[in-house]
Amino acid sequence: MTARALAFGALLLFGLAGCERTMRDMYEQPRYGPGEGSPLFPDGRAARPPPPGSVANASGDLAATSSGRHGQAEVALRESAYAASAPPPVTRTLLQRGQERYSIYCLPCHSPVGDGDGPIVRRGFPRPPSYHEQRLREAPDRYFFDVITHGRGIMYSYADRVAPEDRWAIVAYIRALQLSQHAPLAALPPALQEKLAAMPAEPPANKEPAR
């Protein structure tokens, strides 16, 4: 063996040893394992409690199920139990819940008043029909419930994001929105009726805020 080959072999050995060292550094990173203590925090624990109001990723219908398929079977079971459920009585709490859920899940497209001019639509998403169309004013509550569950046309299902109880709350709120645009004059309190009668027939044109 020549001296040159020996030198080369030695270099290779040193080089590989260096690799191994770097790899160990990757195994043993300076980080805390689960349940480890730490002098950094007053309670002596490395794991920090979640901030108030945070929502665990592992909660909801699919949590604690071994696979998506298992979870889907459970969701299907629950859905079929709810498919025949009747709308709950309308209360202020239900409406408030509906308003909140509507604002999160429907308003982006259907707009705050339900005319279909939501912020996403203004940015180019196809415009949904207005809830104030006669056809949708006359549609039964169940129809809205089913659209949320199964989607319709290009609108997809919200079943995995809006629980059945909340679907009824949203439906109640949509009914309130519809009433807000089509209330008969006689249904208003007398003071409001007088105020309306004193207003000019043509309301001033709605100006878009400058962008």
CB of 209 to ligand HEC, least distance (A): 22
Q: Which two tokens stand for residue 53?
A: 């109001």
Q: Which is nearer to ligand HEC, 68 or 140 (CB)?
A: 140
Q: Which two tokens stand for residue 155?
A: 């609108």
Q: Which is nearer to ligand HEC, 9 or 126 (CB)?
A: 126
The length of the chain in residues reads: 211
CB of 122 to ligand HEC, least distance (A): 12
Say how many C-beta atoms besides its own lie within 10 A of residue 76's C-beta.
11
- Give the residue closest to ligand HEC by C-beta: 153
CB of 81 to ligand HEC, least distance (A): 20
Could you list the residues that contact ligand HEC (CB under 6 A)? 105-106, 108-110, 120, 125-126, 128-129, 144, 147-148, 152-155, 158, 162, 170
Q: Which two tokens stand for residue 19?
A: 């690799």
Please tell me what DSSP assigns to residue 180: H
- Is 165 in contact with 148 (CB distance < 8 Å)? no
Q: Which two tokens stand for residue 59?
A: 């909660």
Q: Which is nearer to ligand HEC, 47 or 163 (CB)?
A: 163
